[in-house]
Amino acid sequence: SYVLTQPPSVSVAPGQTARITCGGNNIGSKSVHWYQQKPGQAPVLVVYDDSDRPSGIPERFSGSNSGNTATLTISRVEAGDEADYYCQVWDSSSDHPHVVFGGGTKLTVL
Partner 1 sequence: EVQLVESGGGLVQPGGSLRLSCAASGFTFSSYWMSWVRQAPGKGLEWVANIKQDGSEKYYVDSVKGRFTISRDNAKNSLYLQMNSLRAEDTAVYYCARVPDILTPFDYWGQGTLVTVSS
In the list 27, 53, 88, 107, the residue contacting partner 1 (rule: CB under 8 A) is 88
Q: Does 98 bind partner 1 (CB under 8 A)?
A: yes
- DSSP secondary structure of the chain: ----B--SEEEE-TTS-EEEEEE-TTGGGS--EEEEE-TTS--EEEEBTTTB--TTS-TTEEEEEETTEEEEEE-S--GGG-EEEEEEEEE-SSSS-EEEE---EEEEE-
Single residue of 48, 60, 68, 73 touching partner 1 by CB under 8 A: 48
Which parts of this chain interact with partner 1 (CB under 8 A)?
A: 31, 33, 35, 37, 41-45, 48-49, 54, 84, 86, 88, 90, 92, 96-104
